Amino acid sequence: MATLFSNDGAEVVQRPLPAKESSGRTPAEALDEFYELERATAFVTASGFHRVALQFPNELLADSAAVAAKMEEATGSKMYILGDTSYGSCCVDEVAAEHVGAEAVVHYGPACLSPCRKLPVLHVFGRQPLDTERCAGAFRELYPDPQSHVVVLSDVVYAHALGELERLLGPEYPHVVFSRLASDGAPDCPQGPGLVRQFGRCFAVAARRELQDHAVFYVGAEGLALTNFMLSWNRCPFSSFNPATGCGRHESLHVNRALLRRLYLVERARDARVVGILVGTLGVAGYLSILEHLRGTLRRAGKRSYTLAMGKLSPAKLANFLEVDVFVLVACPQNSLLDSRDFYRPVVTPYELELACNPAREWSSLYVTDFRDLLPGGCAHVGFPDMVPGDSDVPDVSLITGELRATGLSSSPAPSSSSALACRTPESALAEISPAASFLESRSWRGLEQQLGQTPVTKPVPGRRGIAIAYEDEASG
């Protein structure tokens, strides 16, 4: 634990970096095609934007200056490069864009396709090459039956090649469905019954079949996007094709084991008395609504909450809040599934917190990673039940500690600021009650004591001079 929460910084210096080409830059003749400069230029000029932010992930920053120069030359507008993002690079950093007064954002690289709140956004994923013949061959090996019902998904950087893949496989497999990206108002997104529109993708399954009756074939490397799909649609068998290795395989992620781990975190959230709400995004539409929704949920469940905004998360940051029993992370679907094994306290998703606090929501095969689905009007919204007299008398035993815990709901979801004050003395002196203060009161060491009025006042005297390794009054050598 000591090396986890505090270290000498050697880990940062010795951390291995992913291997790159010697130059790390895209050849000048390939910039226009890879970064779709013609489409980006049309986006800027058509709307008359004068100040545009260009957001690059770390792996594409080497090309940022060249791309910005070409964009300024083609549009006559001022371009600003956004590098290190406040949160995940898959989300649009509207906060940084607003700092420079940008009127729009062009987001480069992989993206979670979460809708933004304020600024218009153009996504340029970067067209990574895909050997469609080899991918089609891997598909035929994994699904030899031409009557197989399969949904084809892809990482966003390979979405441009799905049309060619459909041309190769469509005549042989009449029941294969190819997804489309739903970003930027895609005109070719299918419509009609059986439409599935989720995680920035849209596709239509047959009217007489459901999504769970289909297998899923994913084009892309293993990562957060694939994990998100597999947990959300955990009743579908998955397979994948990795363009980097040219190999296809049936995915062997132990979905049941992952779900059991998440169910354990739900039980930890039921035991929690103090919950920290972590703001993991400031740009995804609806994040303010889900924050208020979570606060109301915790008030109804009789738990105290604190809202924390600290940028990118780390075990050392969260270890500063020892009085918090569990954290809930509000982020995009890809970043919300945080593996908190290295953290001092568990980190859950908004859906898992609702499972712990809302008696009307039950654990099922439906797993929700997009917090917007939990809000009123969302496809997975479940309201709190009405108060039933005697509910608090039903015993509820923790499956982790074996102790009894309260099960009653608060009758009013409205905040009550006066509940933090109580009489401390018979003379009706007021004292503030908070979990943080109670936790500090229970600790044997509470920090440096001021001892005001007890320490004698002395005149200042000259101190030592020099640096810590060799003060002037120390003998050298």
For every residue of 9-43, DSSP letters joined together read SHHHHH-------SS-S--GGGHHHHTTHHHHHHH
pLDDT band at 253 (very low <50, low <70, confident <90, very high): low
With 90 as the cut, is the pLDDT of residue 252 above it?
no
With 80 as the cut, is the pLDDT of residue 139 above it?
yes
pLDDT band at 472 (very low <50, low <70, confident <90, very high): confident
pLDDT band at 418 (very low <50, low <70, confident <90, very high): very low
Packing angle, helices 255-271 and 224-232, rounded to 10 = 80
pLDDT band at 473 (very low <50, low <70, confident <90, very high): confident
Give the predicted TM-score (pTM) of the model: 0.76
Taking all residues of the chain, what is their mean pLDDT, rounded to a whole number? 82
With 50 as the cut, is the pLDDT of residue 19 above it?
no
Whether the CB-CB separation of 46 and 38 falls below 8 Å is answered with: no
Q: What pLDDT score was predicted for residue 154?
A: 92
For range 116-123, the mean pLDDT: 89
- Give 438 or 297, the one with higher predicted confidence: 297
Q: Which amino acid is at 159?
A: A
Computed on alpha carbons and rounded to an integer, the radius of gyration of the chain in Å comes to 27
How far apart CA 111 and CA 107 sit, in angstroms, is 8
For range 71-81, the mean pLDDT: 94
| Phi, psi (rounded to 5 degrees) for 268 | -65, -40
Q: What pLDDT score was predicted for residue 198?
A: 84
| Environment class of 135 (CB within 10 Å of its CB; exposed 0-12, middle 13-18, buried 19+) | buried
Cβ neighbours for 89, distance < 8 A, ≥ 6 positions apart: 55, 57, 58, 109, 110
Nearest to 111 by CA among 243, 284, 267, 237: 284
With 70 as the cut, is the pLDDT of residue 358 above it?
yes
Q: What pLDDT score was predicted for residue 425?
A: 56
pLDDT band at 38 (very low <50, low <70, confident <90, very high): very high
pLDDT band at 1 (very low <50, low <70, confident <90, very high): very low
With 80 as the cut, is the pLDDT of residue 270 above it?
yes
With 60 as the cut, is the pLDDT of residue 246 above it?
yes
How far apart CA 295 and CA 402 sit, in angstroms, is 27
With 50 as the cut, is the pLDDT of residue 95 above it?
yes
Residues above pLDDT 90, as percent of the chain: 33
